Amino acid sequence: MTTLKYVGESATRIDGLEKVSGAATYVDDLEFGPNLLHAEIVESPFAHASIQRIDTTEAEEVQGVVRVVTGKDFPSRFGLYMQDRFVFPSDRVRFVGEQVAAVVARDAQTAKRAAKLVKVYYKEIEPVLDLEQALKADAVVVHPDLGSYTRCPWFYPQPGTNIAHWRKTRKGDVEKGFQEADVVFEDTYTVPRYAHCAIEPHAIVGLYDLSGRLTLWSASQSPYTQRHVFAQALAPLGITHQDIRVVTPYIGGGFGGKAGVSMEIIGVALAVLAKGNPVKLRWSRSQEFYNTYQRQGVIARIKMGVKRDGTITAIEHTLHWDAGAYVEYGANVVNAVGLSATGPYRIPNVKIDSVCVYTNLPPGGPYRGFGYSEFHFGLESHINTTAKKIGMDPVEFRRRNAIREGDTLAYGAQMNPSGLHEAIDRVAKEIGWGEKEPSKDPRKAVGKGFACFWKAPAMPPNAGSAAFLKFNEDGSINILVSGMEIGQGFMTAMAQIAAEILTVPPAKIRVELPDTDRNAYEWQTVGSHVTWGCGNAVRAAAIDAREKMFAVVCRAHGCAADTLFLADEKVKCRTHPDFELPFKDFVIGGVQMAQGNFIGGPILGSGSFMPEFTSALSDPETSQGGHPNVHYTVGAAAIALEIDKETGKIKVRKAALAVDAGKAVNPDLVRSQIVGGMVQGLATVLYEDIRYDLNGRLLNANFTDYKIPTAKDIPDEIVPIIIEVPQPDGPFGARGIGEHTMIPAAALVANAVEDALGIRVKALPITAERVVLALLDIPYEDVRGSYRGFCFTGKPDAYAFRAEATKRKRAKGSPRSSSY
């Protein structure tokens, strides 16, 4: 392979200038003129209630109110993988804060005032706020109509129960595996809910113009998927894909929270009903917390068998997810974990049950890591404890069991090339594994923690990417793709891939933000797959453009195509070293011939990519037979921390994380992902502590009470390590790394805390409060007061992991009388 010039270079971000100069434009920055309408939402105060009646009369009489909208006006359901979510529910509400009505008015203040005048009469239904209750045979059912919902074929809902999906993976014989083991050990781990906390709140502006064209300016990671979901919801009105255009300017952070469709559907409905006027809907910070998606809470039981020599013989991993009121996206998180909850280890006997449970907390959904952060906390904690039980160093234990290329995965397919062993070794070296440096301060304890991680993109098997590439008169290039620049550096990476093939420096390449009318298709910017998927499409488009340039030169100069090559923005010829044709001399205007005519025409390239080898078809009882994941990205990480034994405060002194990027298209941006992801991951352990009251109301929906890190809260040092074992089907060998960098954080801290204090914390978060309580040997559940972090209030070790609900027939929630 020839050496690469642009791929692998730490190029300056091509969106950097716009962002440091204040020029970068986000949805809320766009101007729509004096006709712009503003919307305010009427929200449910109850976690579960039937809607008896909505009286909008008084609100409608307020001067400046254009329209009041309820479920009667817009009865559609919607959803990405299962259509279980309502634009406006008309029969019952399922979480505190759910939209019941909206007021559209000439200005925001009028909308706000009128919204308070909408009267909604509810009858409370017993809310489902505890996983154990939710799975009992006589449980109140959150979705009585579950059986009728349109869904993707790889979901297995159990109508009449709260089980929205149950992914079962079976390989080998776990009972035999446990018999072969010298030590069998089981334990329970809990992970509460989390919020994405992108600094930009969700926003959408919709204009349904008088010609019937619907344009949406949306803060989204998924412009094409949004268009598709909108089209499905609007089909009864005769609005189809060709009538809808989704434009996405820069977005101020996504982290999965702006994937799929959440609040945007409300903006769409309001725009359609206020035809002729642009309507803006922007979420407040608190709505951002409770009415988009949250990371789901989970309780997980792990049983692992090992031999004395350190070989893992079997794993049984059972996860019950608090997926919230609607699971149209969240059930796929549950699914992804159900396929991969072995972690990056070769384990011959596997039994995974990943159960998606409807509850009356806000909808769960995608969040950077897509379930893997959640299960890695338990798994990588369990790996440490298991290693300890056989007296083996936890890093050595991981090394012995680490997965290798060609190993059979839990669902039967083969593992892709991977640099996991190299990652383990380099991280262990960087953190000084095995070296103990006690603190000089006797009040402080020090500890080190280690964890491995893996993750595959979770995509439908036909998730496609496409790219258009056009030359300009000066030989510069515009690339029109619909992958989203969510901060990860997508645009720069795409420019570098095209630059490598076309020899045009990235600084002369623009990558355009998505517009579904103009840019080529992209399924979604999720799953850390766009560098790989869209990168392949851009690479194909660049090659297509190159071949078209060669064709023009061949026709004009009569040379053979296989003698031509590109260098320094020129077409050159191997057999005629003197020949060179700069791109700018012909890519638009063609090549002038002796007769004065021109040969050629504007050069355009296009490319498409789809992972044709994947399939979601498999045996629902075992998950054997399909190839649901394209590949896994792996890595390892370690931290060294210091704990104040009086206050419980944890200070991370050093963190190191190695990830196998296949090929780092832009090493500087890979390092940025490692640092940013590590800090976001550590935040979920050390600071973020979501709290619901016992009625399901979120208590800390703001940045004062839900703490995310400031510059003062970061580790003293983070060392990013890039491993490059090429992904054969990736552009220049690249695979995605964006989500992976936060996955190991929780287990790292838990393992380091145990190293420092000898205490195993099995519930997140591990805040100072919890550390102090653990040091004082006070069970957290005894003193925490009347709140919960997810739908679980009992003691984890007592949770039975029963799912009784499976065998009974339909039952309805029993309404309690209480009006509002």
Partner 1 sequence: MNNRITLKLNNETRTVMVQPNDILLDVLREKLGVKSPKIGCERGDCGACTVLLDGKTVRSCLILAIEADGHEIVTVEGLSKESLTPVQRAFLEHNSFQCGFCAPGVVLAATELLESHPQPTAEQIKAAISGNLCRCTGYQSIIEAILDVPPKTGKSL
Q: Which two tokens stand for residue 645?
A: 């034994």
Residues with a catalytic annotation lie at 739
**Using CB under 8 A, which of 595, 710, 814, 817 touches partner 1?**
710
Distance CA 265, CA 231 (A): 10
Kindly state whether residue 63 participates in binding partner 1, applying the rule CB under 8 A. no
Token pair 């309408």 is at which residue? Answer: 37
Strand residues in 424-567 grouped as ranges (E): 444-455, 465-471, 477-480, 509-512, 564-567
Among 166, 155, 146, 151, CA closest to 810: 146
Distance of closest approach, residue 712 Cβ to partner 1, in angstroms: 5
Q: Cα–Cα distance between 436 and 524 in angstroms, integer?
A: 45
Residue 34, judged by CB atoms within 10 A of its CB (0-12, 13-18, 19+), counts as: exposed
Centre a 10 Å sphere on the Cβ of residue 26 and count the other Cβ atoms it contains: 15
- Sole window of 20-28, 495-503, 617-625, 763-771 interacting with partner 1 (rule: CB under 8 A): 20-28
Contacting residue, 29, 182, 437, 562, with partner 1 by CB under 8 A:
29
CA–CA separation, 498 and 492 (whole Å):
10
Q: According to CB under 8 A, which residues from 246 to 305 bind partner 1?
A: 250-255, 282, 284-285
Q: Give just the sign of the alpha carbon dihedral 513, 518, 521, 524.
A: positive
Task: Rank residues 174 and 679 by Cβ distance to partner 1 and give the closer one.
Answer: 679
* DSSP calls for 68-82: EEETTT---EE-SSB
Q: Which CB atom, from 16 or from 815, has the smaller least distance to partner 1? A: 16
Residue 678 binding partner 1, by CB under 8 A? yes
Q: Does 21 bind partner 1 (CB under 8 A)?
A: yes
Tokens of residue 103, six digits: 């007021």
For partner 1, which stretch binds (CB under 8 A), given 437-445, 466-474, 664-672, 783-791? 664-672
CA atoms within 13 A on the CB side of 755: 26
Residue with token string 């036909």? 462
Residue type at position 578:
D
Q: Which of 159, 432, 460, 676 binds partner 1 (CB under 8 A)?
A: 676
**Residue with Cβ nearer partner 1 (556 or 675):** 675
d(CA 486, CA 483): 9
DSSP β-ladder status, 477-480 and 465-471:
antiparallel
Q: How far is the CB of 765 from partner 1 (least distance, A)?
A: 17
Give yes or no for residue 749 binding partner 1 (CB under 8 A): no
Q: For partner 1, which residue of 56, 158, 401, 680 counts as binding (CB under 8 A)? A: 680
For position 32 contacting partner 1 by CB under 8 A, the verdict is no
Contact between 199 and partner 1 per CB under 8 A? yes
How many Å from the N-terminal Cα to the C-terminal Cα in the chain? 71
Q: Does residue 712 touch partner 1 according to CB under 8 A?
A: yes
Q: For residue 305, which phi and psi values (nearest 5 degrees)?
A: -110, 135
The answer to whether 762 and 187 have CB atoms below 8 angstroms apart is: yes
Of 17, 567, 593, 617, the one binding partner 1 by CB under 8 A: 17
Q: Is 325 exposed, middle or buried (0-12, 13-18, 19+ CB in 10 A)?
A: buried
The residue from 714, 759, 768, 772 that contacts partner 1 (CB under 8 A) is 714
| Cβ proximity to partner 1, 537 vs 701, nearer residue | 701
Considering only residues 412 to 451 of the shown chain, the ones binding partner 1 according to CB under 8 A are: none
Provide the minimum distance between the beta carbon of 673 and partner 1 in the complex, in angstroms, as a whole number: 9
Q: How far is the CB of 255 from partner 1 (least distance, A)?
A: 7
Among 16-24, 142-150, 600-608, 809-817, which window interacts with partner 1 (CB under 8 A)? 16-24
The residue among 9 and 243 lying less far from partner 1, judged by its C-beta, is 9
**CB of 669: closest distance to partner 1 in angstroms?**
6
Under the binding rule (CB under 8 A), the answer on residue 486 touching partner 1 is yes
Interactions with partner 1, residue window 488-507 (CB under 8 A): 488-489
Residue span 152-191 as binding mask against partner 1, x where in contact by CB under 8 A, dash where not: ----------------------------------------
SS3 722: strand
The separation between CA 557 and the C-alpha centre of its own chain, rounded to angstroms, equals 51
Asked if 91 interacts with partner 1 (CB under 8 A), we say no
Number of Cβ within a 10 Å radius of residue 19: 13
| 200 binding partner 1? (CB under 8 A) | yes
Q: Would you count residue 197 as binding partner 1 (CB under 8 A)? A: yes
Cβ contacts of 572 within 8 Å, gap of 6 or more: 564, 565, 566, 579, 580, 581
- Binding range to partner 1, per CB under 8 A, among 39-47, 172-180, 635-643, 672-680: 672-680
- Near partner 1 by CB under 8 A: residue from 4, 5, 24, 757: 24
- The site for partner 1, by CB under 8 A, has a size of 55
**DSSP tag of 698:** B
Pick 390 or 708: Cβ nearer partner 1: 708
Sheet holding 49-55, edge to edge: 92-93, 49-55, 119-124
* Residue 28 contacts partner 1 per CB under 8 A: yes
| 737 is a contact residue toward partner 1 (CB under 8 A) | no
Please give the angle made by the CA atoms of 801, 804 and 807, to the nearest 5 degrees: 145
| Least separation in angstroms between CB 256 and partner 1 | 12
Nearest of 98, 289, 298 to residue 700 by alpha carbon? 289
Closer to partner 1 at the Cβ: 419 or 677?
677
Segment (H or E) for 463: none
Q: Under the rule (CB under 8 A), what is the footprint of partner 1?
A: 10, 12-13, 15-22, 24-26, 28-29, 31, 196-201, 250-255, 282, 284-285, 486-489, 668-669, 672, 675-680, 702-704, 708-712, 714, 718
